[in-house]
Chains A and B, each alone.
Chain A
Amino acid sequence: KAGVTQTPRYLIKTRGQQVTLSCSPISGHRSVSWYQQTPGQGLQFLFEYFSETQRNKGNFPGRFSGRQFSNSRSEMNVSTLELGDSALYLCASSLAIGEGRNEQYFGPGTRLTVT
């Protein structure tokens, strides 16, 4: 079974630009979560989508947004990029079978550098 895939793997953008990152979950997984990883703040939850609906949201400004498509693929968008948005963005998928085991499987990440 193919794992979680993320595109692109590396990205360099300029302050003020916007960026869209893509994530394809493991086949059959309906939940997709996004995380930001930086040396200073560690791993922080951005948001989670299930059946095209955002179910959970972390403490990030509105510049960070996302969506999920009917095939469970997800995109996240960051508008008006700031230097502090430079990070590794990780996507994770899970079966989301309710209150029980929701083990998340992580993709390779997208390394975003803002200059």
Chain B
Amino acid sequence: ELKVEQNPLFLSMQEGKNYTIYCNYSTTSDRLYWYRQDPGKSLESLFVLLSNGAVKQEGRLMASLDTKARLSTLHITAAVHDLSATYFCAVDITGNQFYFGTGTSLTVIP
């Protein structure tokens, strides 16, 4: 069974700092997605990574994919309070069957 692990599970960081969330998965896939979830809300798509070496950036967030290492990272640059949320990575190996990571709960402290 495919396993998708994220770390850290909880992250508390000060505004202005940088940090990276890691997403490891246990089987071959070149389709990885990052989502954001605010408390009590649904999932919002952040990034779609479809090949080895893919890098996407949006504002203070940058995601990358290394399919050989089965690793994706979500890098946060100069964090701001609005980035506080839970971040999920998801791997798709069969087409429309997403395996989600455990989630990383991010709190940005002023």
Contact = CB atoms under 8 A, between A and B. Distances in A.
Contact of B96 (A44, A48, A107, A108): A48
A104 B95 contact: no
B98 A100 contact: no
A24 interface: no
A104 B47 CA distance: 11
Interface stretch (B13-21, B59-67, B75-83, B99-107): B99-107
A44 B101 CA distance: 10
Interface residues of A, number: 28
Interface string A84-115: 00000010101010111111111111000000
A99 B95 contact: yes
The A contact surface, by secondary structure, is strand
Given A96-B95, A109-B42, A42 B100 contact: yes
Contacts of A35: 98, 100
Interface of B: 31, 33, 35, 41-45, 48, 50, 88, 90, 92, 94-103
Interface of A: 31, 33, 35, 42-45, 48, 50, 55-56, 58, 90, 92, 94, 96, 98-109
21 contacts: A33-B98, A42-B103, A43-B98, A43-B103, A45-B99, A56-B95, A56-B97, A94-B96, A96-B95, A99-B95, A100-B50, A101-B48, A102-B92, A102-B95, A103-B48, A104-B33, A104-B98, A105-B45, A106-B35, A106-B44, A109-B42
